[in-house]
A and B are shown apart, each in its own frame.
Chain A
Amino acid sequence: MSQIELRNVRKSFGNADVIHGVSLAIEQGEFTVFVGPSGCGKSTLLRMIAGLEEVTDGEIHIGGKDVTDEEPSDRGVAMVFQSYALYPHMTVADNMSFGLRMAHRPKAEIADKVGKAARILQLEELLDRKPGQLSGGQRQRVAIGRAIVRDPQVFLFDEPLSNLDAELRVQMRVEIAKLHQTLGNTMIYVTHDQTEALTLADRIVVLRAGRIEQVGTPLELYDDPDNAFVAGFIGSPRMNFLAASASSGNRLAIGGTEVETPVTFDTGTPLQFGIRPEHLDEETGVTLPLKVEVVEQLGSTAYVHGTLATGETLVAERRRDRPRPGETIELRFDPAKVRLFGEDGQRLR
């Protein structure tokens, strides 16, 4: 049985529908990441699971129990907020033990659990400090510690690393991944950062405008996206999309070149041709001439921005050489790496 199950869950604020009948099952111990652009409803969905937003319609089950109308504290969840939400007037130890004190747990048990969590998160030296005396990373660890001591069935993270600088974010990302390995609890993590999603998740849920676009492992979403939105959202730099039309059967005209595809179409069918920048640096394959405009140097690799003969813009990775702006280079790609989408954005297989 799934640890968390959302059954046709809907949420409306007044007349505005923000979550349109979402159904999802999350397995015990799974690290699930909700990802999507701003306003897609990922945080709202997380808050509905936490019990902080009322469910307009549908059911939420946690651990086999219907918790749709339960109080947040009765759902067996703990949440880590983007702003940390630490109580500024309490010490680190008091912050971490707050939930246990509310549950009237014995003092010895509280001290034991806080001590254990502090050891896991290396907070032992900071237990007597107040949140105002801590750095951003330390505060985030305290917020995670507050969640750990309650020993919840499910951890909920609402963009927990957004307020940290780039270096600390990478460090905390690794710490969260280690924590998941150590504790083995079910975790749901909300982010708009697809790198966080790809690196942390067992499974990613891509959301757009209150609907699930695709659910899958990071590699499934990267290699086998169901639609142009997921293909464009997952991967950095994003996938290139070029307008294409079927010239005959399985041949496509794109960017002034003809490509043979495994799919056959009616002649003249308008299509979207998708190829990732990293797949345009092959030694053999179909050739696509590109006039270089800008070159982004990243040390081990470079991204070339340029225009095709049709005037369409394109980004390509260049690992072996560094072209100069103004040059025309030949990009080569394997047609098997091409992803085709219909006019409605749905994948054509």
Chain B
Amino acid sequence: MAAAGRKEKRALWVIAIPMAILALSCVYPVFFAVNNALKSNRGYILDRFGVVTEPTLDNFVQAWTRSHLSEYFFNSVIVTVGAVTLLLVVSSLAGFALASLRFPYRKFIFVVILASLMIPVQVVLVPFYQTIINLGLLNTHAGLIISYTAFFLPFSVYLMTAFYSGLPRELIEAARIDGAKLLQVWWHVMLPMGKPALITLGILNTLYCWNDVLISLLVLQSDRTLMVGIAALRGEYTTNVPLLSAGIVLAAAPIVIIYVIFQRQIVSGIAVGAVKG
């Protein structure tokens, strides 16, 4: 008995040590950013990896005001909120149609949407950029919102279609007999019932839009979103690491707050769409 217990304990350590190293590798960059954001530039040069001794919030103030991160922050909020709202509405409507309505070429349309999931953004950058110019959407928030919606829509539609396919058809039929028109069925039945999938999608799309640099750099050239602004804090020859760290902490803060609020839904929503029916 005792030998078996010892063996089990040893096996536990064999698993625990690599797991601890993995966890540390995830936590350390967070510690590094927060620790250095609180140091002065001089303090950082003197001791790059040490724990901060004289914490200061100067870097946050400087990043927020002098480096215009406040401006970029609100640009990011506008385009993220706009794009995520549009994505949720459009993907929910499309998912409802593809999963529940009968119309010609329904499967073909779904396959086309799935196929577009497999095209990397980089491949279509040139025609995409040309289209944005032709439509007069360059340097507009609307341009970036539409671009994000276009790029992240295939996955969103796929997820909502899979989710709605799992709901009983009778719910829609009952609503139709009760006198609901198609849009009312969507609003009163499908949208509330799609909440778990919509929350998951909302969080994933918020992450994509908030963290994006490439599309934002192309569409919003005269203005900047937060991530582009932070990337610009890196100099060609030297970088003010504490300032950059403060910018990163400021950028990550809303995402962390969203995660903390919706933690339970994110975990339960991860499996959404994995199993049909």
- A89 CB contact (under 8 Å) in B170, B176, B184, B193: B193
The answer to whether B193 touches A98, judged by C-beta atoms less than 8 angstroms apart, is no
* A52→B179 contact, CB < 8 A: no
Report whether B168 and A85 are in contact in the complex, using a CB–CB cutoff of 8 Å. yes
Contacting pair A71 B174 (CB below 8 A): no
Q: Do B188 and A98 have beta carbons less than 8 Å apart?
A: yes
Q: Specify which of B168, B171, B177, B188 is in contact with A73 (CB 8 Å cutoff).
A: B177
Instruction: Report which residue of B177, B179, B195 has the largest number of chain A beta carbons within 10 angstroms of its beta carbon.
Output: B177
Q: Residue of B at shortest CB range from A52?
A: B173
For B165-205 the 0/1 string (1 means CB < 8 A from A) is: 00010110111111110001000110011010000000000
Which of A75-83, A260-268, A271-279 is found at the contact surface with chain B?
A: A75-83
Q: Are A87 and B189 in contact (CB under 8 A)?
A: yes
How many pairs of residues, A versus B, come closer than 8 Å at their CB atoms? Answer: 59
Assess the B193–A73 pair: CB atoms within 8 A.
no
- Decide: A72 and B171 in contact? CB cutoff 8 A: no
Once the chains bind, are A102 and B168 in contact (CB under 8 Å)? no
Q: Is the CB of A98 within 8 A of B178?
A: yes
Minimum CB–CB distance from B147 to chain A (whole Å) comes to: 33
B96 CB, min distance to chain A CBs, angstroms: 15
Contact B173 A81 (CB under 8 A): yes
A42 within 8 A of B: no
Q: Which of A125-169 contact B (CB under 8 A)?
A: 146, 150
A51, B173: Cα distance in complex, Å: 10
Q: How far is B174's CA from A79's CA once the two chains are assembled, in angstroms?
A: 7
Asked if B193 and A88 make an inter-chain contact with CB atoms under 8 angstroms apart, the answer reads yes
A87 to B191 alpha-carbon distance, docked (Å): 12
- Contact partners of A183 in chain B: CB under 8 A: none
Interface class of chain A by DSSP: loop
What residue in chain A is nearest B189 (Cβ atoms)? A87
Q: What B residues does A73 contact at CB under 8 A?
A: 176-180
Would you call B193 and A83 a contact (CB within 8 A)? no
User: What residue of chain B has the Cβ atom nearest to residue A158's Cβ?
Assistant: B170
State whether the Cβ of A103 lies closer than 8 Å to any Cβ in chain B. Answer: yes
- Chain B count of residues within 8 A CB distance of the other chain: 17
Give the CA-CA distance A89 to B178 in the complex, in Å: 16
Q: How far is the CA of A73 from the CA of B193 in the complex (A)?
A: 22
With a cutoff of 8 Å between Cβ atoms, the chain A residues found around residue B177 in the complex are: 50-52, 72-73, 77-79, 99
Within 32-90 of A, Cβ neighbours of B (below 8 Å) are at 50-52, 71-73, 77-79, 81-83, 85-89
A82 to B174 Cα, complex, angstroms: 11
Contacts of A103 in B (CB 8 A): 179
From residue 88 to 107 of chain A, which have CB atoms closer than 8 A to chain B? 88-89, 98-99, 102-103
- Min Cβ gap A334→B in Å is 48
Are A52 and B176 in touch, CB under 8 angstroms? yes
- Within 8 Å by CB of A83, from B170, B176, B188, B189, lies B170
A99 to B184, CA, bound (A): 11
| Contacting residues, chain A, for B170 (C-beta < 8 A) | 81-83, 85
Chain A residue with minimal CB distance to B172? A85
* Also in contact, A99 and B173, with CB within 8 A (given A83-B168, A88-B193, A89-B193): no
Residues of A within 8 A of B168 (CB): 83, 85
Instruction: Encode contact with A along B221-253: 1 for CB under 8 Å, 0 otherwise.
Output: 000000000000000000000000000000000
Q: Map CB proximity to A onto B58-98 as digits: 1 under 8 Å, 0 otherwise.
A: 00000000000000000000000000000000000000000
Residue of B nearest to A98 (CB): B178
Contact of A146 among B176, B178, B180, B189 (CB under 8 A): B178
How far is it, in angstroms, between the C-alpha of A78 and the C-alpha of B179 when the chains are bound? Answer: 10
Contact across chains for A85 and B179 when beta carbons are under 8 A apart:
no
Given contacts A72-B176, A85-B174, A103-B179, 15 further A-B contacts (CB under 8 A): A50-B177, A52-B177, A72-B177, A73-B176, A78-B177, A79-B177, A81-B173, A81-B174, A83-B168, A87-B175, A87-B193, A89-B193, A89-B195, A98-B180, A99-B177
Shortest 9 CB-CB contacts between residues of A and residues of B: A99-B178, A85-B170, A73-B179, A85-B174, A102-B179, A89-B192, A81-B170, A72-B177, A72-B176
List B residues at the A interface (Cβ < 8 Å): 168, 170-171, 173-180, 184, 188-189, 192-193, 195
Chain A interfacial positions (CB closer than 8 Å to B):
50-52, 71-73, 77-79, 81-83, 85-89, 98-99, 102-103, 146, 150
